[in-house]
Structure 1
Amino acid sequence: MREIQIVDAAELAALYAAAAYAVVIDGDAIGLRVGAPAPDLEAYLPAEGYVLVSAWNPASEPRSDAANEAADAALVARLDAAGIARQSAWASAPDGQWREPGWLLTGIDQVAADRLAADFGQAAVLAWGRGQPVRLRMLLPHPNGAATAPHTEWAGAL
């Protein structure tokens, strides 16, 4: 497991919460937003729970495409070995200046999803249950004095 060192976790959470997310199913990109329900996605892909995870840019530190692709291949191998269903997904800055691929997972419990993301150095995942708003789940301790944002939860360091 990697140790994540983030200078300003509250600022990072705000950036993640404002990001645009999408899942690709049957060639359609279905948008997701933190704090909003995802009925279109849930209609396409019925499940009890959903988690969006990436292996790219651990600790939000830019890595080379080769390093990111290798990390993604390792994540896919773990998902395949565990029999966890996945759909192609991505996250991007609202202005489009940054974009990174990831995977929407179904059939995985939250503890296992958190551990998987932490093993790949990720600071957060998106997670929600069917019919619920999409939540940003920070895998870091809640920063002292930071305001609590709606639909953002802090799981603490894993």
Structure 2
Amino acid sequence: MRELTVVNAVELAAAYAAARYAAVLDGDTLLLQVGQPATDLEAYWPAERYVFITAWNPASEPRSDTANAAADALLLAQIDRYRAARLPAWAESPDGQWREPGWLLADLDGDTSDRLAIEFGQAAILAWRRGEPVRLRMLMEPSSDADDDSNAACIDWMGSR
């Protein structure tokens, strides 16, 4: 298991919450936004729970396309092992300078989702239940000022304070 060290976890969470996310279904791009319901996605791809996960750039450190593609192939093998339904997806910074492919999964339980993300060195995933707003799940301990963030209502932190 990889350990993620972040100087300011709140700033990282804010960046992830502000990112743009999307999944591709039958050629249509369905946008996801932290803190908002995913009504269109849920109407076209019904499930009880959803997770966005990527294997790219563990610990938010840029890696080569070759290394990222290899990690993605390993993640995909794990997803297939769990027989989780999946759609191609991506995450992108608001300015479009940072983009990572990933996978939107249906009905994979929370513990398994967390384990996969941690195994692949990820700081966070998106995870939510049908009919609820998309939530950012930070897979690290929060810093002491975590509640000061304006997005705190849609961010879940692993561990306790």
- Give the TM-score range, shorter chain: over 0.9
Paired residue secondary structure (2:125):
strand
Report the residue type matching 2:133 in the other structure. Answer: P
- Partners of 1:69 and 1:7 lie apart in 2 by 27
Q: Does 1:128 align with 2:131?
A: no
Alignment length (residue pairs): 157
Cα shift at 1:156 = 2.9
Q: Which residue is 2:159 aligned to?
A: 156
TM-score, L = length of structure 2: 0.95
Q: CA deviation at 1:150?
A: 1.9
Superposed, 1:15-94 pairs within 5 Å as: 15-94=15-94
1:112-154 CA distances to partner (integer Å, 9 max, x unpaired)? 1001100000000001000000000000101113325120110
SS in 2 for 1:83: coil
Counterpart of 1:6 in 2: which secondary structure? coil
Do the aligned partners of 1:138 and 1:156 also contact (CA within 8 Å) in 2?
no
**Contact 1:19–1:91 at 8 Å: present in 2 too?**
yes
2:137 match: 137
Question: Is the 2:10–2:145 Cα contact (8 Å) retained in structure 1?
Answer: no
Task: Give, in whole Å, the separation in 1 of the partners of 2:107 and 2:127.
Answer: 12
* Identical-residue share of aligned pairs (%): 62
Alpha-carbon distance, 1:107 to partner = 2.2
Aligned-partner Cα distance in 2 for 1:113–1:75: 11
Partner AA of 2:96 in structure 1: G
Q: Which structure 1 residue ranges, 5 or more long, are not aligned?
A: none
TM-score by length of structure 1 reads: 0.96
**Poorly superposed stretches of 4+, deviation over 4 Å:** none
Measured after TM superposition, the shift of residue 82 of structure 1 is 1.7
Q: CA RMSD in A?
A: 1.1
The one-letter code of the counterpart of 1:49 is: R
